Chain A
Amino acid sequence: GAGVSQTPSNKVTEKGKYVELRCDPISGHTALYWYRQSLGQGPEFLIYFQGTGAADDSGLPNDRFFAVRPEGSVSTLKIQRTERGDSAVYLCASSLQSQYNEQFFGPGTRLTVL
């Protein structure tokens, strides 16, 4: 079956612009996560959805970042007024609600803010 997909694969934008990053989770997975991976670092948690609602958004760095999952499947991470420091790989993961709750990751979107 299909894994987690993310689009676009790469996004180059200018400082101050608005961007949207999309994540298509594995069909049937109720949990969805966004992480940000800066160069030379491990992924850092941004937000976690259980169904349509954000169960934990404590990792969002500021109010320029926002994420939605309106139908409990596809999710969009939105970044307003992008800054050069937002440049990173944005990873999405999904999982079933189970004892082991393995998170399956997508290939990420590399965002470059010029």
Chain B
Amino acid sequence: AQTVTQSQPEMSVQEAETVTLSCTYDTSESDYYLFWYKQPPSRQMILVIRQEAYKQQNATENRFSVNFQKAAKSFSLKISDSQLGDAAMYFCAFRRSQGGSEKLVFGKGTKLTVNP
């Protein structure tokens, strides 16, 4: 079974600074997807960024980028130029690429606080 671990229950960052959230996972699969989701107090999960395991290039979406280390099974999220609106819970998630269920497996989350 796949597991996702987020070792930082809480993180804080000053506005306009950079912060990195950590995620490690365990799987025997060779092909899969990894995701970072943001969950504000409204509860709605919002996709931040996605990485396909077969791609060596790290995904980037504007101020958000990942450091994907497949051998180490590590998938960290870097937020540059942090904004007050970035404050939320962040969840790392894993999904198999093919075969079987399309379910997401989530970590326990990291609460990000952005200080003005």
Contacting pair B107 A42 (CB below 8 A): yes
Within 8 Å of chain B (Cβ to Cβ): is A31?
Answer: yes
Is the pair B101, A56 in contact by a Cβ cutoff of 8 Å?
Answer: yes
Chain B interface size band reads 20 to 34
Contact among B6, B42, B46, B106 with A43 in the assembled complex (CB-CB below 8 Å): B106
Tell me the total A-B contact number using a CB cutoff of 8 A. Answer: 63
Q: Contacts A42-B91, A42-B109, A43-B91 known; A103 to B44 CB distance under 8 Å?
A: no
Chain B residues near A110 (CB-CB < 8 A): 43
Task: Name B residues whose Cβ lies closer than 8 Å to a Cβ of A.
Answer: 4, 6, 33, 37, 42-47, 50, 91, 93, 95, 100-109
17 additional contacts, CB 8 Å, given A102-B47, A104-B47, A105-B46? A33-B103, A40-B108, A41-B108, A43-B91, A45-B101, A45-B104, A56-B101, A58-B101, A91-B43, A101-B95, A101-B102, A103-B47, A103-B102, A103-B104, A105-B45, A106-B44, A107-B42
Q: Give me 29 A-to-B residue pairs in the complex whose CB atoms sit less than 8 angstroms apart, sorted by A's number.
A: A33-B103, A33-B104, A35-B104, A40-B108, A42-B91, A42-B93, A42-B109, A43-B106, A45-B101, A45-B103, A45-B105, A48-B102, A55-B102, A56-B100, A56-B101, A56-B102, A56-B103, A58-B101, A89-B43, A91-B45, A95-B102, A100-B50, A102-B50, A103-B47, A105-B37, A105-B45, A106-B44, A107-B43, A108-B44
